[in-house]
Amino acid sequence: MAKVRCAWFDFTSCEGCQIEMTNFGAPFLQLLDHVEIVEFREVMKETTDEPIDIAFIEGSFSREEDRARLESIRERAGVVIAFGACAATGGINALKNHMDMDDYKKCVYGDDSNMPHLDTQKAMPISAAIKVDMAINGCPMSRDEFVRIVTQVIHGTEKVYVPSYPVCVECKLRETVCRYEEGDHCLGPIALAGCGAPCPADGIPCEACRGMVVDANQESMEKVLQENGGMSEKRAKDKSRMFTANFRSDA
Amino acid sequence: MSGYYIPSEGLQSFAQSLMAKMPVVAPVAKGKRFIFDQLGDVAELRLDYDTTVLPPKKVFFPPKQDLLEFDEGKATSCLDPQAKVLLGVHPYDIKAISMTDKLFSDNYADSNYLANREVAVIIGSNVQTPYERAFYGSIAQDLELVGHDAFLTKISDGYVLDVVTEKGEKLIADLGLADASAEQTSEAEGVNAKADEDCPVKLPFAAGDVSEKVRNSFKSEIWDELSKDCFSCGSCNLVCPTCYCFDVQDEWGLGASNGKRYRRWDGCLSSEFSEVSVQGGSENFRENRAERYRHRFMRKTAYLNDKLGAPACVGCGRCAGACTADIADPVNTITRIMES
């Protein structure tokens, strides 16, 4: 079987998901028997204008001028995979989406905020610009899920099963004691699973870095954050904004 | 069959001698809760546990279980039953195991469950600390306590071990346990006879009345009200000792022709549970959360009663505690329906 040509590209992001790849070790090296990396600026100088089998795109779509580059990747790629939370959901970049551009520019860049290249639009998933075939979600993306999905794709599977249930399921399956039972809070009930729930298992509340499940009960979540998590009404309302701005009822 | 006496200070050495024979899975502390886990250090054993996060069925029916591996078109079963002792199972969980035994044997014998079940020796134990949400004292009362091999009852100065099967007798035959005296046996009987009285929550309705009323409420709008805060997270299903549904998935391996098939606990509260493929697309036959919530109560209080001889609920209270929105408690829901 010919090796599958893979390339990585980045847009509005910290490139942490690509860095996560380089931390990977054994399963990734095993994958190299089956894939050929033709562009990946975190690990190599070479780039390509040739057709690609799988394009992994990191980062959100937050500037109109990025559209042409996204479209050119789409044209050359057999499969486009949104790589990590920013590309899949808009991720943490979407925190600014409910704010005025002048406000967040000033807040982040201070006196330099008038430089023209800092003009951005709402941070959106790359699916807002091009057709995306599948997503490897998470902040950073889950390495186990990466191997699982890529393994299915190189076999030619067109639709890879990914869970649609919330993180609570994965906590139960690994018998993690619920954060709420430990007197903490957690966004697990509305957070999309697939990560294997490593954070609550380490005693850290889920922040819903993969976004929300479809039909998430946000009203009930706010109630639970207040009644069981001890939060004020405002904090409970704002709590889920960090990674889920594009999912919220007030988006 | 026969009763033995184990002094309080002899419990750990009893467990230790079982561990010398085979792995022992028993309640141990985890954070503020307890879980069934393989004992590494006998000092971890906590027979004073209230209840565990997951029920002991996980020993026979793991949350995620590889079923078969395939390569070049040939499939190999992943079944590899390992004999073990399941120690400290509360009576409500013994009843639940007798239900899953039946559910996994009827019609189609599920070898992936039964093979693990057959090699396990179950030693029950009485509830020393009732779980605050438990209502086992007022549900599934007609169901006989069977399926275990021995039962430990805490008495004032130790434990009485009742051995009820040959499998149990074989396990402890060479441990040199002392016979229980008539006084000890009668004290243990007394403890077990009043066990249900100490159960914190009561469900004050007869199973037959509940079954009828719940069925008749199928079209009621009450389900919308009861499920308003539901997250469809399925926690109530996943911690339930009588739930037995699972999803099966195939996955390719990295090689060109190999892969595996596994199953994972699933539950009717999850939206994808009722999603089916229809003519190239998909259809969900329980699309909204009220329908899914209702389905669980139909299953627990009505649909399986004839098959099981009791409702498919043993009153452990795990679902009540696991539901962050606190809407899953059968006592609250059944009461609300009975009073509607």
Amino acid B166: pLDDT: 97
Eight-class DSSP state of A250 = T
Asked if B78 and B97 sit in the same domain, the reply is: yes
Cα–Cα distance between B92 and B125 in angstroms, integer?
Answer: 10
Give the mean pLDDT of chain B: 96
**CB hemisphere CA count around B80 (13 angstroms):** 6
How confident is the model at residue A70, as a pLDDT?
98
B164 and B22 together in one domain? yes
Contact B32 A148 (CB under 8 A): no
Q: Which of A125, A154, A183 is the last residue of a domain?
A: A154
Residue B253 has pLDDT above 90, yes or no: no
* Residue A21 in this model has a pLDDT that exceeds 90: no
| In contact, B310 and B140? CB cutoff 8 Å | yes
pLDDT, tens digit, 9 for 90 and up, residues B301-318: 999 999 999 999 999 999
Mean pLDDT of chain A, nearest integer: 93
The alpha carbon torsion through B89, B90, B95, B96 (nearest 10 deg) reads -70
Average pLDDT over residues A219-248: 92
Mutation site for B-interface testing, chosen from A154, A158, A178 by largest number of B Cβ within 10 Å: A178
Tens digit of pLDDT for each residue in A177-186?
999 999 999 9
Residue B256 pLDDT exceeds 80: no
CB spacing of A177 vs B30 below 8 angstroms: yes
Q: Do B238 and A172 touch (CB under 8 A)?
A: yes
B194 touches chain A (CB under 8 A): no
Q: How far is CA A214 from CA A220, B276, B288, in A?
A: 14, 17, 12
Report residue A61's pLDDT band, with 50, 70 and 90 as the boundaries.
very high
Same domain flag for A31 and A146: yes
Task: Report residue B330 as tokens.
Answer: 């059968």
Taking residues A77-98, report their average pLDDT: 95
- The reply to whether B187 and B220 lie within a common domain is no
**Cα dihedral sign, B49-B55-B61-B64:** negative
Judged against a pLDDT cut of 70, whether residue A207 lies above it is answered with: yes
- Whether A240 has a pLDDT exceeding 80, the answer reads no
State mean pLDDT over A89-117: 90
Shortest distance, CA B8 to any CA of chain A (angstroms)? 30
Q: Which of A130, A94, A140 is nearest to A245 (CA)?
A: A94
Residue A160 covered by a domain: no
Contact indicator for A55, A77 with CB cutoff of 8 Å? yes
Q: How far apart (Å, rounded) are the C-alpha atoms in residues B188 and B96?
A: 23
What integer is the mean pLDDT of B251-268?
91
Residue B149 CA, distance from chain mean position: 16
Q: Do A125 and A179 lie in a common domain?
A: no
What is the domain-level CATH number for residue A82?
Answer: 3.40.50.700
Residue A45 inside a domain? The answer is yes
Long-range contact list for B25-29, CB < 8 A, 24+ apart? B25/B56, B25/B59, B25/B84, B25/B85, B25/B86, B25/B87, B26/B86, B26/B87, B26/B88, B27/B52, B27/B88
Residue A10 binned pLDDT confidence (cut-offs 50, 70, 90): very high
Residues A96 and A30 in one domain: yes
Of A42-51, A237-246, B78-87, minimum mean pLDDT range? A237-246
Looking at the structure, tell me whether residues A174 and A132 fall in a common domain.
no
Asked if residue A1 has pLDDT above 70, the reply is no
Helix (H) or strand (E) holding A79, with range, is strand A77-83
| pLDDT average, residue stretch B248-276 | 92
pLDDT band of residue B1 (cuts 50, 70, 90) is low
Amino acid at residue number A54: I
Are B187 and B246 in the same domain?
A: no
Q: Which of B198, B231, B258 is the last residue of a domain?
A: B198
Inside any domain, residue A141: yes
| Residues A131 and A177 reside in one and the same domain | no
pLDDT at residue A68 above 70? Answer: yes
Which of B133, B166, B198 is at the close of a domain?
A: B198
Query: Does A179 lie in the same domain as A117?
Result: no
Residues B147 and B192 grouped into a single domain? yes
Asked if B254 and A1 come within 8 Å (Cβ–Cβ), the reply is: no
> pLDDT tens across B157-186, in order?
999 999 999 999 999 999 999 999 999 999
Sheet holding B64-71, edge to edge: B74-77, B64-71, B258-265, B246-252
Domain hosting residue A232, numbered range: 167-243
- Do A23 and A55 have their domain in common? yes
Give the full edge-to-edge strand order of the sheet including A4-10: A35-39, A4-10, A52-58, A77-83, A134-136
What pLDDT, on a 0 to 100 scale, did the predictor assign at position A216? 95
- Provide the pLDDT for residue B224: 98
A250 domain-assigned: no
**Do B176 and B270 share a domain, yes or no?**
no
Q: Are residues B223 and B310 in the same domain?
A: yes
Residue A132 has pLDDT above 90, yes or no: yes
CB-facing half-sphere around the CA of B313: CA atoms within 13 A: 31
Q: For residues B170 and A100, which has the higher predicted lDDT (pLDDT)?
A: B170
Same domain, A145 and A176: no
Q: Note whether B228 and B289 are same-domain residues.
A: yes
pLDDT digits (tens, 9 = 90+) for B54-91: 999 999 999 999 999 999 889 999 999 999 999 999 99
Can you tell me which residue has the tokens 């590309």?
A87
Does residue B64 belong to the interface with chain A, where contact is any CB pair within 8 Å? yes
Tell whether A76 and A126 lie within a shared domain: yes
A213 close to B (CB below 8 A): yes
Task: Quote the DSSP letter at residue A95.
Answer: G
CB contact at 8 A, B35 and B27: yes
Question: B325: which chain A residues are within 8 Å (Cβ-Cβ)?
Answer: 189, 220, 223-224
**A117 with A60, same domain?**
yes
Q: What mean pLDDT is predicted for residues B236-264?
A: 93
Once rounded to an integer, what is the mean pLDDT over residues A147-157? 88
For residue B29, the distance in angstroms to the closest alpha carbon of chain A comes to 11
The secondary element (H helix, E strand) that includes residue A170 is: helix A167-173
The whole-angstrom distance between A65's CA and the closest CA on chain B is: 36
Residues of B in Cβ contact (< 8 Å) with A172: 53-54, 63, 234-235, 238-239, 265, 322
* A188 lies in the same domain as A68: no
Whether the bond into A140 is cis, omega within 30 of 0: yes
SS3 for chain B is CEEEEEEHHHHHHHHHHHHCCCCEEEEEEECCEEEEEECCCHHHCCCCCCCECCCHHHHCCCCEEEEEEEECCEEEECCCCCCEEEEEECHHHHHHHHHHHHHCCCCCCCHHHHHHHHCEEEEEECCCCCCCCCCHHHCCCCCCCCCCCEEEEEECCEEEEEECCHHHHHHHHHHCCEECCHHHHHHHHHHHHCHHHHCCCCCCCCHHHHHHHHHHCCCCCHHHHHCCCCCCCCHHHHCCCCCCCEEEEEEECCCCCEEEEEEEECCCCCHHHHEEEECCEEEECCCCHHHHHHHHHHHHHHHCHHHHCCCCCCCCCHHHHHCCCCCCCHHHHHHHHHCC
Count of CB pairs separated by less than 8 Å, A with B: 106
For residue A39, pLDDT over 80 is answered with yes
**What pLDDT shows up at residue A157?**
84
Residue A193 in any domain: the answer is yes
Query: Last residue of a domain, which of A154, A186, A216?
Result: A154
What is the spatial distance between Cα B340 and Cα B334, in angstroms, rounded to a whole number?
10
Q: Give me the mean pLDDT over the A20-43 stretch.
A: 87
A168, closest residue in chain B (CA to CA): B233
pLDDT, greater one: B290 or B277 = B290
Which amino acid is it at B6?
I
Sequence-ordered list of residues with C-beta below 8 angstroms from that of A166, at least 6 positions apart, any chain: A188, A189, A190, A191, A192, A193, A213, A216, B231, B232, B233
Specify if A133 maps to a domain.
Answer: yes
Structural domain containing residue B179: 2-198
**Residues A29 and A141 grouped into a single domain:** yes
Q: pTM (2 decimals)?
A: 0.95
Q: How many domains does chain B have?
A: 2
- Count of domains for chain A: 2
Position B10, amino acid: G
Domain assignment present for residue A29? The answer is: yes
Asked if B277 and B179 sit in the same domain, the reply is no
Task: Specify whether B226 is located in the same domain as B319.
Answer: yes
Q: Same domain, yes or no, for B170 and B282? A: no
- Domain end, chosen from B176, B198, B220, is at B198
- What 3-state DSSP class applies to A195? coil
Query: How far does Cα A43 stand from its chain's mean position?
Result: 21
Q: Is residue A63 part of a domain?
A: yes
Cα separation, B101 vs B93, in Å, equals 12
Among chain B residues, the shortest Cα distance to A216 is held by B231
Same domain, B163 and B231: no
Which residue type sits at A246? N
Higher pLDDT: A119 or B114? It is B114
